[in-house]
Amino acid sequence: METLTIGDEVLWRGSWGQEPEKVVRVTGIQVNERNGSKEGDPVDFISWDKVTDHNVILDLNNRHWCWAHQIAPYYNDADIKLTGDDEPVNSDLIPDKYHHFYD
């Protein structure tokens, strides 16, 4: 399973997910004690399948923070995911919950 790591580029939607997406870089990741809590532990990476709802808070390089539901993996085309090592990935492996970012 792919991981979200500090330094990764992601698609972010401001205004609690209402604005058009922008490409930003993750500068911090916090895993919350419970969904909706603002208290948690900083981590360097987390599995994408755990990045849901209000269970993770991310700091971004645009001086904003966001909840997990406001981001999606950033793919510069249908076949390539940009990560620290620019690893190729099959677009069929992108979870359905992120496809709305590419419509």
Cβ atoms < 10 Å from Cβ of 76: 11
Residue 23 pLDDT greater than 70, yes or no: yes
Q: What does residue 25 show for φ and ψ, rounded to 5 degrees?
A: -110, 135
First-to-final CA distance of the chain:
23
Quote the strand ranges of 17-55, DSSP E.
21-32, 40-43, 45-47
pLDDT of amino acid 87: 57
The boundaries of the domain holding residue 8 are: 3-102
pTM of the model as a whole: 0.71
What's the mean per-residue pLDDT of the chain?
Answer: 81
Number of domains forming the structure of the chain: 1
Q: How far is CA 60 from the centre of its chain?
A: 10
Q: How far is CA 23 from the centre of its chain?
A: 10
